[in-house]
């Protein structure tokens, strides 16, 4: 086996690869960017070397630097993980030239699958079912319109070099075709530097079923069953599971055999995934092949009991597959959910910030966390917003959902907005539990997913008030001498019953809590017309145990300046403290200003000073965490000044432009 390898990635996947490699006795070299110098993948590694500044283009995408480090420090092979250089044929070739094994397929296989039309050509020849369509070289608009009519509407225009839904347009009617074509070509050119497109018959309400394949260097290939990745939001996967719902054994074997045929057709080596669209008639069509280890590989590991990274390493080292297809048995059901740093209340914009508190569920053979973060880490806008994956296993799908529900309750990432609560709501939906999922599920359940739980907020307000009363704060006058009676700021006053009124904001509502001090541990709290008798038993930095009207409560409570998070009964509540003066002076909307909704980079500025704009005109395009966001005019007006240009980086809340 290899003695030393380099992992050309970061975050959870770099850690995941190292966990197996180190268990196999392999010395692991990590690489990192300046902002990752304290990251978990660097701490886990046996040695680590700096690549460059935070932007991927100066660090994790620098193939030459990575190969130079591999050579200098004696790595025999490079594992690229997913993303970054994992499907870059030039990088795989450069590794080969440098006499380093690229842990993945050949450059030729990567290239063949990189172009959708090329891939379809190969798959059609290999008799892999493909959606009817046109994937030739003729890109003339009139010709393509004729082809679209032959296919029959609705058709889907796809960018030949595309991915992630970019450069993709559904067309329902011949009249809309040319405009959609022009727009798809523009997007394809700007996103992939290639404006070619192909046409396909649109498959209605499809499911995304993908087959994991493994092929060695000795002409053996196996399929490791399917994953159902139908739960996506704007082409970003959220939940993946295996096996696929309602996939019969005969369909499983048919799709599996087809996937092996597809892999063999391109002389595939290593771990790969064949994506299929499955329609409601049980027909499946080749969509694309991913020539890498995928984010969702753990669900396959859970249902097969295999370690796919170990397989990748053995295959890359030249060992033959140790199993025959009939040796593989599907065991139980696995589900993965992805935890993204994002604001689910604000159009799922990527979120950044520091983690102030982190707790993982208890891990066991049925509950697994793959993560690259640890407490006190910061989430930046430079990389993918996925922070962690939670993977569960059960004998049945319902047992797995039950495990997932329990695990999510115990999982808290405080400080950075994330989709944990959204996932909880998602897996509680009746249609999810019943397995009625397809690629439109999230849109179809948007309203139910927006609803917030109707809980009694008063115990949370009590905890928040106690936190303020019991924590000496920087901006409260008190003695610096801890033995002085004036050091305490728990409200103690000689003679008089002391009262303070504290103000909080929770989900845009203001609340006032009046605290009456009775003794060092006993308080009376008043919220509107309700009165609570409180006895405090224990206060640590991030927890509080108190009796509320004679019922014992234990909460986690995390404070960061004005921000307070209370974890009560496994539910997270985010509150803000409000200074009394502010409480009466409710923030007013700022007119004539537009601010950055998140930190990131300016991609394009579509207006200049003096321009007249209409409501909803696109003014500025920003990018953060690999995703683009357009900033639209909130009303008609004239642009007074633009403060940034394309390429600039901005902080959250930065004023982008002023208009009248």
Binding site for ligand MV4 (CB under 6 A): 131, 156, 165, 200-203, 206, 208, 232, 235, 277, 287-288, 439
* Closer residue to ligand MV4 (CB): 107 or 162: 162
* Closer residue to ligand MV4 (CB): 23 or 234: 234
**DSSP classification of residue 175:** G
Query: Closest Cα to residue 260, out of 211, 307, 320?
Result: 211
Q: What SS3 state is found at 15?
A: helix
* Closer residue to ligand MV4 (CB): 33 or 290: 290
CB 521 to ligand MV4: min, Å? 56
Residue with tokens 């909704």: 597
- Residue in 10, 169, 207, 292 annotated catalytic: 292
Query: Closest Cα to residue 577, out of 517, 653, 652, 500?
Result: 500
* Closer residue to ligand MV4 (CB): 161 or 557: 161
CB 144 to ligand MV4: min, Å? 15
Distance, in Å, from the CA atom of 446 to the CA atom of 177, rounded to the nearest integer, reads 29
* Closer residue to ligand MV4 (CB): 135 or 208: 208
CB 447 to ligand MV4: min, Å? 19
Taking each helix axis as running N to C, give the angle between helix 249-265 and helix 116-125, from 0 to 180 degrees, rounded to the nearest 10: 110
* Closer residue to ligand MV4 (CB): 206 or 272: 206
**DSSP classification of residue 341:** B
Query: Closest Cα to residue 371, out of 28, 146, 44?
Result: 44
> Known catalytic residue: 292?
yes
Determine the number of helices (DSSP H) and then strands (DSSP E) in the chain: 18, 39
CB 210 to ligand MV4: min, Å? 9
H or E element in which residue 87 lies: none
CB 565 to ligand MV4: min, Å? 33
Rounded to 5°, the CA angle 31-37-38 comes to 120
Query: Closest Cα to residue 355, out of 133, 533, 127, 542?
Result: 542
* Closer residue to ligand MV4 (CB): 395 or 431: 431
- 246 Cβ contact partners less than 8 Å away, ≥ 6 residues apart: 435
CB 458 to ligand MV4: min, Å? 42
* Closer residue to ligand MV4 (CB): 162 or 599: 162
CB 151 to ligand MV4: min, Å? 10
Residue with tokens 């969509």: 287
* Closer residue to ligand MV4 (CB): 44 or 277: 277
Q: Is the peptide bond before 433 cis (omega within 30 degrees of 0)?
A: no
Q: Is the peptide bond before 215 cis (omega within 30 degrees of 0)?
A: no
CB 190 to ligand MV4: min, Å? 18
In this structure, are residues 221 and 205 in contact, taking their beta carbons and an 8 Å threshold?
A: no
Rounded to 5°, the CA angle 426-427-431 comes to 85
- 174-195 burial by CB neighbour count: b if 16+ within 10 A, else e? eeebeebbeebbebbeebbeeb
- 407 Cβ contact partners less than 8 Å away, ≥ 6 residues apart: 361, 367, 390, 392
429 Cα distance to chain centroid: 21
For residue 564, what are the CA distances in angstroms to 378, 465, 653?
Answer: 18, 10, 20
In this structure, are residues 329 and 323 in contact, taking their beta carbons and an 8 Å threshold?
A: no
CB 202 to ligand MV4: min, Å? 5
248 burial type by CB count under 10 A (0-12 exposed, 13-18 middle, 19+ buried): exposed
CB 397 to ligand MV4: min, Å? 20
Residue 480: how many other CB atoms lie within 10 Å: 7
- 190 Cβ contact partners less than 8 Å away, ≥ 6 residues apart: none
* Closer residue to ligand MV4 (CB): 166 or 510: 166
Q: What SS3 state is found at 653?
A: coil
Positions marked active-site = 292
């Amino acid at each position: 086996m290899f003695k030393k390898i380099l992992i050309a990635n970061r975050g959870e996947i770099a850690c995941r690869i190292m966990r197996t490699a180190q268990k196999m006795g392999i010395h692991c070299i990590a690489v990192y960017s300046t902002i990752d110098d304290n990251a978990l993948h660097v701490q886990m590694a046996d040695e680590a070397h700096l690549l460059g500044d935070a932007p991927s283009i100066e660090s994790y995408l620098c193939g030459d630097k990575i190969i130079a480090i591999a050579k200098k420090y004696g790595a025999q092979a490079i594992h690229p993980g997913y993303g970054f250089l994992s499907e870059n044929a030039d990088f795989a070739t450069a590794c080969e030239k440098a006499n380093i094994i690229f842990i993945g397929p050949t450059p030729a296989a990567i290239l063949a699958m990189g172009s959708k039309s090329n891939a379809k050509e190969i798959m059609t020849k290999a008799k892999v079912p493909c959606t009817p369509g046109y994937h030739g070289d003729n890109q003339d608009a009139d010709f393509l319109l004729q082809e679209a009519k032959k296919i029959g509407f609705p058709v889907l225009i796809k960018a030949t070099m595309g991915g992630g839904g970019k450069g993709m347009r559904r067309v329902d009617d011949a009249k809309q075709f040319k405009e959609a074509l022009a727009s798809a070509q523009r997007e394809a050119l700007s996103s992939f530097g290639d404006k070619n497109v192909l046409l396909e018959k649109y498959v209605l309400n499809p499911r995304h079923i993908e087959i994991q394949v493994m092929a060695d260097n000795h002409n053996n290939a196996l399929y490791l069953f399917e994953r159902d990745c139908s739960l996506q939001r704007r082409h970003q996967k959220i939940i993946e599971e295996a096996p696929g719902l309602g996939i019969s054994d005969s369909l499983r074997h048919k799709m599996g055999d087809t996937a092996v045929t597809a892999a063999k057709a391109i002389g595939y080596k290593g771990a790969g995934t064949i994506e299929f669209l499955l329609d409601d008639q049980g027909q499946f069509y080749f969509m694309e092949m991913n020539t890498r280890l995928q984010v969702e590989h753990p669900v396959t590991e859970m249902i097969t009991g295999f370690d796919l990274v170990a397989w990748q390493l053995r295959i890359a080292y030249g060992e033959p597959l140790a199993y025959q297809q009939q040796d593989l048995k599907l065991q139980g059901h696995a589900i993965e959910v992805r935890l993204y740093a994002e604001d689910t209340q604000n159009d799922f914009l990527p979120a950044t910030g520091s983690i102030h508190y982190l707790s993982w569920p208890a891990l066991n053979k049925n509950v697994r966390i793959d993560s690259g973060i640890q407490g006190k880490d910061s989430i930046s806008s430079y990389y993918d917003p996925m922070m962690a994956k939670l993977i569960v296993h059960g004998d049945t799908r319902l047992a797995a959902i039950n495990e997932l529900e329990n695990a999510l309750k115990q999982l808290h990432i405080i400080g950075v907005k994330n989709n944990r609560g959204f996932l909880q709501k998602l897996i509680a939906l009746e249609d999810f539990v019943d397995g009625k999922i397809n690629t439109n599920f999230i849109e179809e359940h948007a309203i139910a997913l927006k609803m917030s739980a109707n809980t009694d907020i008063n115990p949370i307000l009590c905890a928040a008030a106690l936190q303020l009363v019991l924590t000496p704060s920087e901006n409260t006058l008190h003695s610096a001498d801890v033995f002085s009676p004036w050091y305490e700021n728990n409200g103690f006053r000689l003679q008089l019953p002391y009262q303070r009124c504290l103000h909080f904001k929770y989900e845009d509502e203001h609340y006032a809590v009046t605290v009456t001090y009775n003794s060092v541990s006993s308080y009376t709290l008043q919220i509107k017309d309700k009165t609570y008798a409180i006895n405090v038993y224990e206060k640590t930095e991030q927890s509080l145990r108190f009796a509320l009207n004679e019922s014992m409560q234990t909460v986690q409570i995390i404070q960061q300046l004005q921000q307070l998070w209370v974890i009560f009964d496994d539910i997270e509540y985010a509150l803000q403290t409000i200074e009394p003066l502010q409480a009466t002076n409710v923030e007013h909307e700022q007119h004539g200003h537009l601010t950055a909704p998140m930190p990131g980079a300016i991609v394009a500025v579509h207006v200049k000073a003096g321009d007249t704009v209409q409501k909803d005109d696109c003014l500025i395009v920003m990018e953060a965490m690999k995703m683009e966001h357009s900033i639209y005019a909130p009303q008609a007006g004239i642009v007074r000044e633009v403060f940034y240009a394309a390429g600039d980086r901005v902080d959250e809340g930065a004023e982008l432009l002023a208009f009248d």
